[in-house]
């Protein structure tokens, strides 16, 4: 069944706006669809698939669009649509456009230059090659350019994984246990789950397996005082609350009122009563200073480039810049420093990003440890073993999509010295 010719015009119009890279692609698409309510579900799905495919493969599409006739924007739009649904499904093509698309679709992309196949901006591709070597960098790039499966987290306050698998199968939705997170499920296809009773009653939440593991690294216990320092919409907060068995006190700090507002309905579904959302002006807010030295554990999921999430947000690689990352490094350092002040003696601090770049990860942690001799690094391998997570790591958690089928994640676990013990030892000496 052919799509109506108007689809090409709609796709081209929204693509032109997205390629300005003034904001996230998903937000631009959502607004465009709200402004064009006559577009049906199938048409919206095709446009979204074409746009995301184009963002993933922009280097290749840009090269291919240099041939052909008509405007460059129309040509690149047609390539995205043809890859999404096939040339024969597109209505409104001229004979020349049809012939051109058919020729382009026959090109063997395996023979393209490696840098082009990576579909990464040059500065990022060079960083990946330097870090991983060309062969593995290409494997990583191709994995980042492949849409992610749908990961769910089972809320253990309301259900267990085996029962949820059985209930989903009746939908019918086939879910498999994730290999590392004890509460994770993976769905290869992407069904709509918003109307499922399991979602409505808070038994399941959408959350990447890598993100779920951060709650296990923090290792919060019943009755403790804990903070999610950059809570956002609260995915990790909810995982932490369930991990704490709805006891103790869990602060969800964030500087964005909108993000915390998105946490409220999720919190209501979750059944958690130990979570306390707190809007702060900045990392040095007096609301934070009042808690200095009082918390057992703090998670810092720092603002970062987001380059580990390209499977879900392919536009990020084109919007992000080296200058932007340098600016983020300043924020990351300041936030980690402020969060550390919350911890009591012997408290645990987890610094995490969804990035693979050393300047956002190891470099920030090493600088922090040099500036804070009262903190020591706990090897990720040790903590993972304690949590019975079958995952081989060294000092840090480093998750990569081509190896672990998760988003790209980094985490470092640090512990504040037990000052009372140190004082006793010093007195004995």
Tell me which residues are annotated as active site. Answer: 354
Pairing of strands 295-301, 343-353: parallel
Distance between CA 344 and CA 293 in Å, rounded? Answer: 4
φ, ψ for residue 13 (rounded to 5)?
-65, -45
Token code pair at residue 281 = 């002006």
Distance between CA 124 and CA 310 in Å, rounded? Answer: 12
Element spanning 186, H or E: strand 184-187
* Residue 399: DSSP 8-state: E
Residues 6+ apart with CB under 8 A from 207: 151, 152, 153, 184, 235, 236, 239
Distance between CA 33 and CA 44 in Å, rounded? Answer: 7
Residues 6+ apart with CB under 8 A from 130: none
Distance between CA 343 and CA 296 in Å, rounded? Answer: 6
């Amino acid at each position: 069944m052919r799509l109506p010719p108007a689809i090409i015009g709609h796709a081209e119009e929204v693509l032109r706006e997205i390629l300005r890279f003034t904001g996230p692609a998903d937000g631009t698409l959502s607004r465009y669809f709200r402004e064009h309510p006559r577009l049906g579900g199938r048409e919206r799905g095709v446009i979204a698939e074409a746009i995301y495919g184009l963002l993933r493969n922009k280097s290749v599409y840009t090269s291919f669009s240099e041939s052909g006739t008509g405007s460059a924007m129309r040509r690149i739009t047609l390539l995205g649509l043809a890859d999404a649904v096939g040339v024969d499904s597109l209505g409104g093509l001229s004979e020349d456009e049809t012939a051109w698309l058919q020729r382009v679709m026959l090109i063997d992309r395996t023979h393209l230059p490696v840098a082009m196949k990576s579909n990464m901006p040059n500065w990022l591709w060079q960083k990946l090659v330097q870090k991983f070597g060309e062969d593995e960098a290409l494997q990583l790039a191709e994995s980042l350019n492949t849409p992610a499966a749908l990961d769910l987290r089972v809320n253990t306050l309301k259900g267990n994984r085996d029962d949820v698998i059985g209930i989903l199968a009746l939908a019918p939705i086939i879910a498999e246990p994730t290999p590392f997170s004890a509460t994770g499920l993976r769905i290869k296809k992407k069904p709509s789950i918003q109307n499922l009773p399991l979602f409505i009653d808070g038994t399941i939440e959408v959350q990447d397996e890598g993100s779920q593991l951060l709650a296990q690294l923090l290792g919060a216990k019943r009755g403790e005082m804990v903070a999610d320092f950059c809570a956002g919409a609260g995915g990790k907060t909810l995982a932490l609350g369930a991990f704490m068995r709805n006891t103790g006190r869990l602060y969800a700090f964030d500087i964005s009122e909108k993000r915390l507002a998105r946490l409220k309905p999720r919190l209501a579904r979750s059944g958690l009563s130990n979570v306390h959302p707190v809007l702060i002006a900045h990392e040095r807010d007096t609301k934070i200073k009042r808690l200095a030295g009082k918390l057992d554990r703090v998670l810092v999921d720092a603002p970062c480039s987001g380059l580990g999430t390209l499977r879900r947000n392919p536009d990020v690689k084109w919007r992000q810049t080296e200058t932007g990352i340098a600016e983020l490094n300043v924020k990351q350092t300041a936030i980690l420093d402020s969060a550390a002040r919350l911890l009591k003696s012997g408290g645990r601090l987890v610094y995490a990003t969804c990035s693979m770049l050393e300047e956002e990860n190891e470099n920030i942690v090493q600088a922090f440890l040099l500036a804070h001799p009262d903190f020591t690094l706990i090897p990720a391998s040790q903590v993972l073993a304690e949590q019975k997570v079958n995952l081989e790591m060294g000092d840090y958690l480093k998750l990569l999509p081509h190896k672990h089928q998760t988003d790209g994640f980094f985490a470092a676990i640090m512990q504040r010295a037990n000052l009372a013990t140190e004082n006793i030892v010093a007195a004995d000496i």
